[in-house]
Copies of this chain bind each other. A is one copy, B any other.
């Protein structure tokens, strides 16, 4: 549904609320997809949200609730009666319940745990024990397990009986007496074989699986690389504990990309959307980086202080070229660093390739630097010098262009090597993206510029 359409429905709902036409609201909201219903409810104010939620049919209620923002969920959880809370919880899949619990304050969590049955409570506690960002926190424990000696008919009987409660039934897992994973069978395989065939005859024994403590980013990469629709998750003794499905991975991939992009722009990543974050949260995610980078940048100022008198004696025009040198160095460096960071994240570049990357960037940077310094020379000498009348001599232009050349080459090399170096040190490569590289390259390019100017100008002029 388009954003505009949804806004119309929101306006219509508010109007119906004023008219107290609840029958029409009920019709309207139950026709929406749960995701759109959730967006509608999220926009409602505190007073209206529960009355409207109560108009949802039983099936729609839980699905819509799961899709709401955590602020909206908290509002509802605080206003639900115990019976209402239990009704919603009973309809929810366990992985969704855990997701919600992780976002809620302690008193709300207590109420949720209290209203869950003993078995669910035990499972919730198991999942909550897994480390942050591990496979265990995104997996679902509701999967179909089959036994090796069953026939196709046995399997179908089993699936028919439990299908309603399982998120995914198309990938089934064959386990032994000790719950150890010994094979997989898809419903497609089952459909392609006769009813009385034992599944041991066609089950796939080489199963791609992951451990519950593995990082969820690795899980996403496994599923994406091998085009899996679900990945079985096992404990350290190869006992099945759950599955991660491809739609969970879509969210993980979106989150990981957002995290990397945030870090590259020197912002601490947040799981809330921009609109959900308060001004203070946004401030908190940005200030440390700005402070660190600002302090680092003041050291560049010290370089200027050191060389200022000498540069000024050579030509006051030299100062005017500093922003261009700094910006071009920064841009050249961030092109290289961001490309390498993304390559590392997608597993296309490995630390072992460091020399190959360096050799490639060296050649690219020489090509780029040649172009840029030629254009820079021409622009300064012909446009600023001859056309605009600034006293740019042949020697000044040469000093600036040579500095630009060196800056671009150094920026590219620093830019491509820093992320690989970070990876080797087990740091997140995304953190050493453009802002940090810019700060380093700024200082280096200024030193180069001052040294080249001081060497060339007195000698030639």
Contact = CB atoms under 8 A, between A and B. Distances in A.
A384 B302 CA distance: 9
A246 B251 CA distance: 12
A339 B276 CA distance: 13
A192 interface: yes
Contacts of A247: 224, 227-229, 246
Contact of A290 (B246, B328, B380): B328
Nearest to A360: B279
A390 B305 contact: yes
Interface stretch (A11-19, A120-128, A134-142, A431-439): A431-439
Interface string A272-299: 0111000110110011011101110110
A173 B446 CA distance: 65
What interface size band does chain A fall in? 35 or more
A356 B225 contact: no
Given A192-B163, A323-B300, A250 B267 contact: no
Interface in A363-408: 363-364, 367-368, 371-372, 375-376, 379-380, 384, 390, 408
Interface stretch (A110-118, A174-182, A252-260): A252-260
B335 A323 contact: no
A159 interface: yes
A294 B229 contact: no
Interface of A: 3, 7, 31, 33, 35, 156, 159-160, 163-164, 169-170, 187-188, 191-192, 206, 208, 223-229, 246-247, 249-251, 253-254, 257-258, 260-262, 264-267, 273-275, 279-280, 282-283, 286-287, 289-291, 293-295, 297-298, 300-302, 304-305, 308-309, 312, 316-317, 319-324, 326-328, 330-332, 334-335, 337-340, 342-343, 346-350, 352-353, 356-357, 360, 363-364, 367-368, 371-372, 375-376, 379-380, 384, 390, 408, 434-435, 438-439, 442, 446
